[in-house]
Structure formats: C-alpha cells, structure tokens
Amino acid sequence: MDDAGDTFKADVAALQFLVDAGLDVIIEATPQNRLAPPEPAPPPAAPAMREEAPRQRLVTEPPRRPEPADSDRQAAETAAQIAPACNSLDELRAALEGFHGLAIRETATQLVFADGNPEAEIMIVGEAPGREEDRIGKPFVGESGKLLDRMLAAIGLDRTTVYITNTVLWRPPGNRKPNPSETAAMLPFLIRHIELVQPKAMMLAGGAALSALYGMEARITRERGRWRDYEASFGTVPLLPLYHPAYLLRQPSLKREAWADLRAFRTKCGELGLI
C-alpha cells in the first residue's frame, strides 16, 4: 500500500481505539480539545463525616524490588556485573546475546531486544515477548502490539517517536508471565537499558516492569494512571503505568480508563516539550 493508504489505515485504527474507549461525538459546534486534562472537580461540600484524604497521585517511596530465586541468583549476579559495563545499546544487546543465565533463553527462538527510535525521548517498557515477538524478534508485533500502536496513534505517537522494550527479553515458554525471579535477574539489564536511552518520559505497559522497578506489591490495577518519579542515574524521569494492551484486549471495558491515562501521558509529554 502507498504512504497515503498506510496513513489512512493507521488513522482508522486509532479512531477505532477511541470509539472502544467511549468516544461517541466527533463533531461539535465549537472545537474541543480532547487531549486537555479533565477540568478540576469543584471543591466538595464540607463532608458530614470524616473522610479519608484523597490518595496522592505522585508516588515517591523507594522501590522494594523482587528477589531472584536461588536458581536464578547467579544469573542476577552476572547480570549486575555485565550490564552496567555496557556503554551503548549495541554493547548491551551483545552482552545479552552472550548471557545464558536464564532457562527461558534456551526455549526462546531469539532475543527480543527493542523496537522504535533509540533517539526517542519517550520509552515504553512492556512485559515479555509473546509468540509473534519471539518469531520476528521485535517487541509488540502481535495482537497486543497492534493495540499498542493504536493507543499510541490516538495520542499522536508511533514507533518513530517512542522506543519500546520489555522487562524480560526472551519469551517465557507457552506465553506464561515471566516469574518474579526472572524479572529480578533481568533488572540490571533493564536499568542499564533505561540509562542508555535516557528517556524524558516513560510508560510502563502492564505490571511486570512496575513490579521489577517498584516491588511485587505495586499492582497495576491500583497503580495505573498514578505518576511516579523514576530516579535514574541521569536524572528523574516521570513514569506512568498503564494497563497492558493484552489485558485491554481481554477487558475492553477498561479502555476508557486507558484512554484517560493516555491523555494524561500526552499532556505530560506536551508540558515537557516532547510532542
């Protein structure tokens, strides 16, 4: 298909995501900025009874990260030695190609390192490759990847303006979730990956990266849409966890919340001058 045809297809796909998220009016008498943050709610009337203070949106507590199981402890130690010594994305990829610490590597077809623009200022971290990613060697190219592309398109982003990787870079057999031990063993690579890309904003797609960076008690259902400050060696990066696209495919009614989170992400990126 020619470029115009591709653009049209991408526009229709992004529109479909918005419809799924609850959009029902496209044209109104006056122009509406659908990407603007919601109007602040009017101050509540004095409560009759004592109410709990609203939850803080910005979470700053230090991370309590998962521990590797004994069988993966050696892998975690090796990863912690070799990852920080990598001085470029090519070196990181080569270090991972030479890393045989985890059993999932042996059942996977190939390393699924990253996709998108390594110069991008926006970084997205997912969970782990699935079947299609394992086959093709790029993250988010299966069904959930197509939804991720539509979500990004809905806020004016695509793979030329973001950089995408995963928490675990080999497909766990049978598409199971990576276990906390595997996630812990891969963490030094993820941290170095972030340091090498130096994003100015990050989106976590699903709970795996959230648990890796902030501990197993950080649950996506509670944390989605709550901004965190990720303290990287190169500075503080605003980070927003969102529902994983695969979860949205199973629970389409949550697309409404995902759309609110995407708008918040778009607004922050706008404020930071990233889009």
Residues that bind ligand URA (CB under 6 A): 126-130, 133, 139-140, 142, 144-145, 166, 206, 246
DSSP 136-175: HSSSS-SHHHHHHHHHHHHTT--TTT-EEEESS-SPPGGG
In the complex with ligand URA, the residue whose CB is nearer, 144 or 181, is: 144
Give least dist CB 126 to ligand URA, A: 3
Coil, strand or helix at 23: coil
In the complex with ligand URA, the residue whose CB is nearer, 92 or 203, is: 203
| Neighbour tally for 72: CB within 10 Å | 22
| Neighbour tally for 270: CB within 10 Å | 15
Convert 2-14 to b/e letters by CB count within 10 Å (16 or more is b): eeeeeeeeeeebb
Give least dist CB 27 to ligand URA, A: 35
Give least dist CB 4 to ligand URA, A: 29
In the complex with ligand URA, the residue whose CB is nearer, 181 or 183, is: 183
Give least dist CB 245 to ligand URA, A: 7
In the complex with ligand URA, the residue whose CB is nearer, 130 or 238, is: 130
Give least dist CB 179 to ligand URA, A: 15
Identify whether the C-beta of residue 73 lies closer than 8 Å to the C-beta of residue 184. no
In the complex with ligand URA, the residue whose CB is nearer, 144 or 183, is: 144
CA-to-CA distance for 243 and 50, rounded, in angstroms?
32
Distance spanning both ends of the chain, measured CA to CA:
27
